Amino acid sequence: MQKITVKASQSYDVIIGSGVLGSAAGYIGDVLRSRRTVIVSDDNVFPIYGTKLKETLEKSGFAVSEFVFPHGEQSKSHAVLLNLYGFLAAQNITRSDSIIALGGGVTGDLAGFAAASYLRGIDYVQIPTSLLAQIDSSVGGKTAVDIPAGKNLVGAFKQPKLVIADTDTLSTLPDAFFDDGMGEAVKYGMIWSEELFDLIAEGNIKDHLEEMIVKCVDIKREVVETDEYDKGLRMILNFGHTLGHAIEKTQNFCGLSHGKAVAVGMYLITSAAEKHGIIKDSISGKLRSCLETNRLPWSVDIPAETLFENSVNDKKRFSDDINVIICKTIGKADIVKLPISEYKKLITE
Ligand SMILES: NC(=O)c1ccc[n+]([C@@H]2O[C@H](COP(=O)([O-])OP(=O)(O)OC[C@H]3O[C@@H](n4cnc5c(N)ncnc54)[C@H](O)[C@@H]3O)[C@@H](O)[C@H]2O)c1
Ligand SMILES: [Zn+2]
């Protein structure tokens, strides 16, 4: 078991390790003010881990109820959020009570935003069970729901009181979602740590899961502590994402999943920057082989022109500059401000 303390506007511990969920009631009891809580979870995760968690909490004197919603991104919606508010009200949840988010990033974002907004804010604990949630979304306090105009457009910064990441829960995570999380793990290696990149590039990552997760969370901790409200450094977490989002959008969110689109986005921007002399050392080959080793794609059959068009929003297309995240070496990211015309050349020529 390892503990990382995040010193943001609110300090909290991230407990990472095999079997830590078994001791959850103790950890949670130490940070919450009341013994009344609601577990928020989806219909895949609750049956596997929720029932046991509820029992453990009840044995420690907690009064627990559960709000279980259908799994998937479409539940990160105002409709489900409204149902959740209604549930919290029906359960007479007060300012001193809390929410426990048990599940992947969808659960964490939805439950976190409910916690940020219900009664102007109540405490919440993150128990991430997907790789993406353990290394990324459960730490840092970004919470949100989607609206028809776009993903994550309504949200709030709200740090959790505690994060418990039990690496054993990843044993039931379907491979496709595991691989998705690995896309973000490669990103952390590229932007911050060659050592982490090398660990992932070796290939047998399931033998080093705890080590990898701890390294990723520690990077996220440092970035969030420096720039909690996403005004500068935190932007480097978007490495690969501008083109990744463009791929997801071009494919109407029915093609490559997020982590895989980010994998391609990282490779495309790196090889383009190499080709245009922005990167002096040749690193795209290493990145490509790391992606392949981890069952991640590095190319997609979409014209560069379309990717460009879909990676800048309409307002930006003709005038502004765009911040592009480029890793000039493995383990170090730069925020490069380019006029849109230069960015267009970079992507399409
Ligand atoms: N808040 C942030 O900082 C942040 C950062 C990155 C991503 N996100 C958000 O995270 C979401 C994606 O997260 P995700 O990939 O975890 O999606 P998810 O929550 O939908 O989980 C993926 C799938 O795996 C299932 N699952 C999760 N854990 C499981 C387990 N241990 N065993 C079996 N099944 C399990 C879920 O039921 C779901 O079907 C997106 O909405 C994205 O916007 C947020
Ligand atoms: Zn991402």
Residue 258 confidence (pLDDT): 95
d(CA 54, CA 68) in angstroms, rounded, equals 13
Query: pLDDT (tens digit, 0 to 9) for every residue of the chain, 349 residues total?
Result: 999 999 999 999 999 999 999 999 999 999 998 999 999 999 999 999 999 999 999 999 999 999 999 999 999 999 999 999 999 999 999 999 999 999 999 999 999 999 999 999 999 999 999 999 999 999 999 999 999 988 899 999 999 999 999 999 999 999 999 999 999 999 999 999 999 999 999 999 999 999 999 999 999 999 999 999 999 999 999 999 999 999 999 999 999 999 999 999 999 999 999 999 999 889 999 999 999 999 999 999 999 999 999 998 755 555 688 999 999 999 999 999 999 999 999 999 9
Interval between CA 72 and ligand 1 midpoint (Å):
8
d(CA 168, CA 171) in angstroms, rounded, equals 6
Instruction: For residue 144, give the ligand 1 atom closest to its CA.
Output: 1
Residue 320 confidence (pLDDT): 80
In DSSP notation, 80-124 reads HHHHHHHHHHHTT--TT-EEEEEESHHHHHHHHHHHHHGGG--EE
d(CA 291, CA 281) in angstroms, rounded, equals 19
Query: Residue 222: how many CB atoms within 10 A of its CB?
Result: 14
Q: Which of these, 219, 198, 206, 209, lies nearest to 286 by C-alpha position?
A: 198
Q: Which fold has domain 177-348?
A: Dehydroquinate synthase-like, alpha domain (1.20.1090)
- Asked if 269 and 245 touch (Cβ cutoff 8 Å), the reply is no
Give, in order, the Cα–Cα distances in Å from 293 to each of 181, 281, 306, 332.
Answer: 14, 21, 28, 21
Are both 2-173 and 177-348 of the same fold? no
For ligand 1, whether the C-beta of 106 sits within 6 Å is: yes
The structural architecture, per CATH, of the domain 2-173 is: 3-Layer(aba) Sandwich (3.40)
For ligand 1, whether the C-beta of 142 sits within 6 Å is: yes
d(CA 248, CA 256) in angstroms, rounded, equals 6
Interval between CA 255 and ligand 1 midpoint (Å):
17
Interval between CA 275 and ligand 2 midpoint (Å):
25
Q: Any idea where the domains of the chain sit in the sequence?
A: 2-173, 177-348
For ligand 1, whether the C-beta of 104 sits within 6 Å is: yes
For atom 5 of ligand 1, the residue with the nearest CA is 137
For ligand 1, whether the C-beta of 220 sits within 6 Å is: no
- Asked if 53 and 127 touch (Cβ cutoff 8 Å), the reply is yes
Beta-carbon-side half-sphere exposure of residue 237 (alpha carbons within 13 Å): 23
- Cα of 125 vs its chain's centroid, Å: 16
For ligand 1, whether the C-beta of 169 sits within 6 Å is: yes
Tokens of 292: 């392949």
d(CA 236, CA 333) in angstroms, rounded, equals 6
- Asked if 100 and 39 touch (Cβ cutoff 8 Å), the reply is yes
Give the helix ranges, DSSP H, for the chain: 24-31, 45, 51-59, 78-90, 105-117, 131-132, 175-192, 194-202, 209-226, 241-250, 258-275, 284-293, 304-311, 340-348
DSSP secondary-structure letter at 340? H
For ligand 1, whether the C-beta of 133 sits within 6 Å is: yes
Ligand that lies nearest to the alpha carbon of residue 183, given by its number in the listed order: 2
Query: Residue 193: how many CB atoms within 10 A of its CB?
Result: 19
Interval between CA 339 and ligand 2 midpoint (Å):
24
Ligand that lies nearest to the alpha carbon of residue 105, given by its number in the listed order: 1
d(CA 41, CA 105) in angstroms, rounded, equals 11
Interval between CA 83 and ligand 2 midpoint (Å):
27
Interval between CA 143 and ligand 2 midpoint (Å):
14
